[in-house]
A and B are shown apart, each in its own frame.
Chain A
C-alpha cells in the first residue's frame, strides 16, 4: 500500500482541507471527497502530477438534498482514485471535463438524462441513454422517481 499512501500524502500536502476524507479501503483503491469549487483543481493535479491519465467512468448518486458525482480515474499500475463531489439538487450545474477527457462525453450525457445534472460546456449532440420522447423533468435514477403503473409490460 506504499504507492497509495504516497498518493494520499501528495494530495494532502496540496489540499490540506480534504485530508480527512481520503480513504484507502484496500490495495489500489483511493476514495476522497472534494467541494465542487476545488474539483477542477484537484482533477488537474491528479491527471498531471499524479498521472491518473485514464477516466474509467462517472457515477451519479442521489443523496437527498444533493446530487453527488464520483469520477473514477485510474493509472497503469491499477490504482484507482475515486473523486466525489456534490452539488445541490436545486441547481445541479457541473462543468464538463471533455476538454481533458474527450471520452467523458457519454458519461456526462448519462448524468444529464438519468440524474438531471446540467453540464456546462458539453457540446450539443444526441442524448444518452433515454428515448427522444422521454418526458421532460423526469430523471429515473433519482430516488423520488418511481416506475408508473402500466408503464412497463
Chain B
C-alpha cells in the first residue's frame, strides 16, 4: 500500500452544494487546509435573456430584464429604461426620477439586510439570520404596499414610473424607516463590538486596494478596499444629483470591512429616502413613449446593492432592440474572489464567496410535482406548500398552526 500523501488535491464545490445558495462551480486546489488556487465555472443560470430581449418589444423587455434578478430587480429595469429613454430623447418627469430613487434605496435596504442574514448564517451565527430576516420583512411589506409586489415591483416603464407614491405611502415609509434605523444601529453595534463576529470576519477574504482596482471589483466589495467608487456619485442618474449622501468606504480590505460598509450604507439609504420624500416634486409620473424607438445607442449605469450594473442598448428604429447587453455586478466581483481565496483556509470559503453578495439568478416560488406512477404533473404554490408542511408536521406531533396564525396576522 502506498502511504504517500499527495501534495495537492482538488475538491469540487458546486454546481450544486449545500454551501452555495445558487449554482456556481468552484474547483479548489488544496494542500492540507490551505487553498492553492480556485477555478471558477459560471453560467449555470444562463437563460439567454440578452437574445430573448432582441425578440421582444421594448415594453416586454422592461419586464424581462426585471426578472434577471429577484433581489435587485428594480436595478435592472431602471438601468434598462434609462438607456431606452436616452436613445428616444424622453424627458422623464422629476417625480418619476424621485420615485425610482426611493424604490431603488428600499431595494438596497432589503438586499443589505438579506446579505447580513446570509453572512450570519455562513459564520454559524444563525440568530443574526433570524433577526435580520425578520426585520427585512418590514421593507418587503412596505414594497408590497407601495407597488403591489414584494419582488419584481413593476414600477418602471419607458418614460417614467407606473405608480405614484401616495401621502399614505409616505407616512408608511417614514414609520418603517424609524424602526429600521433603530435596528440598523443595533446591528452596527453587533458587528463592531461582538468579539465572535469581529474575530471571524477580520483578515478573512483580504484583497488590497491595488488588486481590487486591477480586477475591477465594484460596489461594497470595492468600497471596503478603500475605493471611493459609487455610480450614484460618479455618474448620477435618477434624483441622486439633487440629494446629499456620503459614499461609505472602509480600509479593512476584508469581510469585516464589507460588513461595515453595507451597514453604514443602510443609514445613508434611509437619509436618501427621507430627503427624496420631503422633496418629492409635484409633476406627472410619466410621459408617453413611442412604441418604435429611433435608431441609436446608449449605455446606462446603475449602482445596484451589489455594485455597478451596466446595460447597453442599441436600437434600430423598430419596436424591438437590436442588442441589449447586461453586465451585472457579480460578474465584475467574482473575478476578485479568486484572489481573496488564495492562500486562505478552506473553512473561509463560504463566507468569502458570500461576502461579495453573489447573485447568480432569481428566486423560485413554486414547485412542480411529478407523479411518476400516473404520469401526472401538478403545481403547488407557496401557500399550498406551506399548508402542506403544517399538516405534515401535525402528523408528526408538532403543531405549527398557532405560530402560523400569528404570522398570518402580521402579514
Q: What is the interface of chain A, defined by CB distance below 8 A to chain B?
A: 25-26, 28-29, 31, 53-57, 59-61, 70, 72, 74, 76-78, 80, 82, 101-103, 105-107, 114, 125-131, 140-141, 145, 147
Contact = CB atoms under 8 A, between A and B. Distances in A.
Contacts of A147: 48, 51
Nearest to B300: A29
A25 B231 CA distance: 19
B308 A56 contact: yes
A70 B322 CA distance: 15
A53 B327 contact: no
Contacts of B43: 127-131
Contacts of A76: 228-229, 234
Interface residues of B, number: 37
Interface string B66-110: 000000000000000000001000000000000000000000000
A127 B236 CA distance: 35
B299 A29 contact: yes
B170 interface: no
Contacts of A128: 41-43
Interface in B289-348: 296-299, 301, 308, 310, 312, 314, 322-323, 325, 327, 331-332, 334-335
A61 B331 contact: no
A102 B215 contact: yes
Nearest to B325: A59
B334 A129 contact: no
Nearest to A125: B39
Contact of B325 (A29, A31, A57, A74): A57
A72 B310 contact: yes
B399 interface: no
A60 B327 CA distance: 12
B312 A70 contact: yes
Given A105-B335, A106-B331, A82 B216 contact: no
Greatest chain A CB density within 10 A among B42, B43, B312 is at: B43
B268 interface: no
A57 B335 contact: no
A72 B299 contact: yes
Contacts of B40: 126
5 contacts: A28-B235, A80-B299, A82-B299, A103-B216, A105-B335
A105 to B, nearest CB: 7
A78 B301 CA distance: 10
A126 B39 contact: yes
Contacts of A55: 216
Contact of B46 (A70, A125, A130, A145): A130
A77 B234 CA distance: 5
Contacts of A127: 43
B378 interface: no
A127 to B, nearest CB: 8
Contacts of A107: 327
B50 interface: yes
Given A70-B312, A78-B234, A54 B46 contact: no
Contacts of B48: 140, 147
B10 to A, nearest CB: 13
